[in-house]
A and B are shown apart, each in its own frame.
Chain A
Amino acid sequence: MPQQLEVTEYDVIILGTGFVESILAGALAKTGKSVLHLDTNEYYGGSWTSFNFRELLDWAQLLQGHVEESSGNCQETYFEGKKALPTNFSKIRRQAYSTIEYEIYATLKQTDNAEESEESQHKREQNTSEETIHHVSTGLTNPERETLTTLLKESRQYNLDIAPKIMPCRGELIELLINSGVGRYLEFKALDRTYIYSDQDNFYKVPCSKEDVFTSQTVSLIDKRKLMRFLTFALDFTTSPETFDGYEEKPYDIFLKEKFQIDGKLLSAVLYAITLIRTKANDVNTIQGLTYTQKYLKSLGRYGNAAFLVALYGAASEISQGFCRISAVFGGIYMLNHSVKHLLIDESSNNFTGLIDVNGQQLSSTYLITAIDYIPENLLQENEECEQISRAIVIIDHFIHEEDDATLTIFPPDSVGNEYPISVLQFSEGTRTCPEDKYVLYMSTKASGESAKEDLYKALEKLVNISNNDSSLSSPLFALFYRHKYRDTTSLSSLLPNNIIVTNDPDSSLDFEAATIQAKQLFEKMYPNEEFLPVGPDLDDDEFSLD
């Protein structure tokens, strides 16, 4: 029986349960707006979600086009005098991803049989299409098939982020989580260490705090002094503007070289591992650079000696679900696995008036907030210029560097033939990303070459024994490479009806800060007189009431 909604008019309908849409859902419901939140997928998180291993394979197959998807009907029609524009979610989503390749590697070590006893648990999960498994295992050698079997057995112990991000210990998101109460739903681990690769095939632990600098064995005494002086200045840079006078618009690296004599390896570390620049050094001016460096330094010390926290079980998807829960607690209505057929536009006012859902029910609202994938094709302009991000998810059998819950490794530009810095997050079982004795590497960089694999492979070779290059390195079990677009919503918004609000794709940054700021800005644009996720009321005990 199709699920009909009794209420068909809302203040806001939201399409997609990605990070930005979910924050908005929570914020809007909390200010008393009626919210209907739909997602075509049967899971939360949209293009920010996390998957178990089976789901990840399914997803990769879907994006490669190996699985048939029902394509929407593409007829533009009229419905009660309104123009009805068809949506085509799967097609538009697929277009955002490219150069998807995965590899399954022969198991080198014999895995123990402890998993066998969990057989009963695995019997329950036959929802993955056997078609996928069949397709994946075709052409594999026996040892490779063995790896696949192990991965599938432990499938549910993986929570693999398709857009992995970490959270600074001070910043927009963490304050929002604390104030909104969503933080109560979540658990975190500290990002223990940052490493940087230098072209002599060495990885150096990056000293971040003054304490680190003091105890560091890898930094020379003279560099220690330079770094100390710089960190002291950067933490409070606005109070000594004379230091950067005349450098404001100049590249950050020039400033660091000329004013602090920071050069070579030390310069790389400051730019790419402390300031976490995701582009080339000369694309960042001194003011921007100092702002990022300061943000990093201010994040230290709140939760031990870590600047970042890692959310357990996959970050963005858990955080999104937390905000959706807040929205539901305040009356937001949730329907996953619920697609949209048409958006209705009033031609005389060029306003969005409502939509027709999968059951043919007409639902209307004052505003529509949507991820790009739900926008009708003829409203999207083909934009080839947009930024793309190359990513890889790699499962390995042994940690790189040291055994930590979470580490970050940076390859500066040109260190392995790469145009842009490459970041590699390593998560262990402690972050609930993977089973015991396995580790997950999340690699990412701005796209530059022909494919995600090309952009990341050389860095991967330095970390794992991926092409029998170095048997002392950890062995890979699985690698998925993919590229996705960061579609520009600013120019898109000007073409759309005013009351359609579009949210951004996950960006190339390592954190959630820009996405959190977008959610806040969109909220303020829609309801300038309302407060964005104000503190309280605390829903515990006393506030709890049925009437």
Chain B
Amino acid sequence: MSSRKKVLLKVIILGDSGVGKTSLMNQYVNKKFSTQYKATIGADFLTKEVMVDDRLVTMQIWDTAGQERFQSLGVAFYRGADCCVLVYDVNNNKSFETLDSWRDEFLIQASPRDPENFPFVVLGNKIDMEESKRAVSQKRAMTWCQSKGNIPYFETSAKEAINVENAFQTIAKNALQQETDAEFYNDFPDPIKIDNDNSKYDSCGC
């Protein structure tokens, strides 16, 4: 790939409340974990620079900000996503069963150009809990992932930092692939972003 344009990948994390979406992000980016559960407050998006196949990319990981609790994530949240991470809690059967709806919701709201090949990654979180609490077997989860077009599947623990790095490396890789494909279709000049850099009241153009 010859273009060395700075790449920004937008990754969104979906799944029921309490499955550990924010903890996973926080573990991956800040290497921190808090045992105290609070419905998400103060989480917007986190950015991390990652190397993917010798290429430095900036991954922007978007939290739901708690708006998923009452099914109130607006369509703006989904715009321009390069990868969608679906998270469930392996000890909570319902959180696994809703993965279908989260996937559908993503495809409807984000309406990616090529829905069949859009990259999803599934994370079964909280594997640090005792085995007797486990409600969804690895086999069952993998069968579901296969049936949805071979979605990569990882079993993780945000608490013990198990498999988190690994999972996000795959997320970054697949997001970059998607971004590169999307770029192929996109022949528009880049849109304007407003930020502090442009905000100085310098000379006026007239």
Contacts and interface: CB of A to CB of B under 8 A. Distances in A.
Interface stretch (A73-81, A282-290, A295-303, A479-487): A295-303
Interface in B1-49: 22-23, 26, 29-30, 32, 34, 36, 38, 41-47
Interface in B110-134: 111, 115-116
Contact of B47 (A156, A334, A540): A540
B75 to A, nearest CB: 8
Interface string A185-206: 1111110000000000000000
Contacts of B72: 334-337
B194 A235 contact: no
A239 interface: no
Interface stretch (B81-89, B142-150, B196-204): B196-204
A541 B30 contact: yes
B79 A188 contact: no
A183 B77 contact: no
If over half of B's interface residues share one DSSP class (helix, strand or loop), that class is named, otherwise mixed; here it is: loop
Interface stretch (A118-126, A136-144, A392-400, A441-449): A118-126
B194 A318 contact: no
A117 to B, nearest CB: 10
A413 interface: no
A546 B34 contact: yes
B108 A125 contact: yes
A544 B30 contact: yes
A430 B194 contact: no
A3 B70 CA distance: 8
Contact of B199 (A175, A309, A333, A429): A175
A334 B29 CA distance: 27
Contact of A546 (B32, B77, B205): B32
Interface stretch (A107-115, A320-328, A361-369): A320-328
A392 B77 CA distance: 28
Contact of B198 (A186, A302, A338, A543): A302
A183 B205 contact: no
A329 B107 contact: no
Interface string B44-80: 1111000000000000000001110111101111010
Contact of B76 (A125, A175, A313, A330): A313
Contacts of A177: 194
A188 B46 contact: no
Contacts, number: 157
A379 interface: no
A190 B194 CA distance: 12
B36 A546 contact: yes
B65 A329 contact: yes
Given A190-B192, A335-B70, A544 B108 contact: no
B192 A188 contact: yes
Nearest to A297: B206
Contacts of A337: 71-72
Contacts of A189: 191-192
Contacts of B205: 209, 211, 300-302, 305
B65 A328 contact: yes
Given A211-B206, A305-B205, A322-B76, A333 B69 contact: yes
A545 interface: yes
Contacts of A325: 44, 65, 67, 74, 76-77
Where chain A touches its partner, the secondary structure class is mixed
A59 interface: no
Given A124-B108, A329-B44, A43 B74 contact: yes
B193 interface: yes
A458 B11 CA distance: 48
A309 B104 contact: no
B22 to A, nearest CB: 7
A312 interface: yes
A174 B194 contact: yes
A540 B46 CA distance: 6
A187 B43 contact: no
B115 A121 contact: yes
Interface in A313-352: 313, 317-318, 321-322, 324-326, 328-331, 333-338
B184 interface: no
A512 to B, nearest CB: 14
Given A124-B107, A336-B71, A544-B30, A301 B204 contact: yes
A188 to B, nearest CB: 4
A326 B69 CA distance: 16
Contact of A545 (B42, B108, B196, B198): B42
A544 B42 contact: yes
Nearest to B68: A334
Contacts of B183: none
Contact of A183 (B22, B30, B195): B195
A127 B141 CA distance: 29
A124 B199 CA distance: 42
A185 B63 CA distance: 13
B20 to A, nearest CB: 11
B32 A303 contact: no
Nearest to A212: B206
Contacts of B44: 181, 325-326, 329, 539-540, 544
A178 interface: yes
A182 to B, nearest CB: 10
A401 interface: no
Interface in B147-206: 188-189, 191-196, 198-199, 201, 203-206
A462 interface: no
Contacts of A305: 205
Contacts of B104: 124
A242 interface: no
A328 B71 CA distance: 13
6 contacts: A120-B115, A189-B191, A309-B194, A328-B67, A338-B70, A543-B42
Given A235-B204, A302-B205, A334-B66, 16 more contacts: A43-B75, A178-B194, A187-B191, A211-B205, A211-B206, A301-B205, A328-B65, A328-B66, A334-B69, A334-B70, A335-B72, A430-B188, A541-B30, A541-B47, A545-B42, A546-B23
Interface of B: 22-23, 26, 29-30, 32, 34, 36, 38, 41-47, 65-67, 69-72, 74-77, 79, 104, 107-108, 111, 115-116, 188-189, 191-196, 198-199, 201, 203-206
What are the nearest 9 A-B pairs in CB distance?
Answer: A301-B205, A187-B191, A321-B76, A546-B34, A209-B206, A328-B65, A334-B72, A539-B44, A321-B74
